[in-house]
Homo-oligomer: A and B are copies of this chain.
Amino acid sequence: NPEYDDDGDLIICKLSDRRRVTVQDFRGKTLVSIREYYRKDGKELPSSKGISLTEEQWSAFKKNVPAIENAIKKMESRNI
């Protein structure tokens, strides 16, 4: 079942105890956010630590996932 945060944004996954990936509709525009949350008065609220991508930016990001993977692998092999 889909899980929503206290702002009504769809929680895709948690990356850590505090970090979440959400998809939201913000005034008719879809935003993909990777953001840290904090707890206040029993609620979990989005902090300023994070970034919200427009659909265009998300699309550019997605295309670069293989390039990110390659860069990580190269960096790791240098560290061994």
Chain A residues engaging chain B, CB cutoff 8 angstroms? 10, 12-16, 19, 21, 23, 25, 28, 30, 32, 34-36, 48-51, 53, 55, 57-58, 60-65, 67-69, 71-72, 75-76, 78-79
> Of B35, B53, B68, B76, which one neighbours A15 at CB under 8 angstroms?
B53
Known A-B contacts A72-B23, A75-B23; A61 and B15 likewise in contact (beta carbons under 8 Å) = yes
Known A-B contacts A35-B51, A50-B51, A51-B51; A75 and B30 likewise in contact (beta carbons under 8 Å) = yes
Contact present for B32 and A68 (CB under 8 Å): yes
Contact present for A10 and B71 (CB under 8 Å): yes
Which residues of B sit under 8 angstroms from A28, Cβ to Cβ?
79
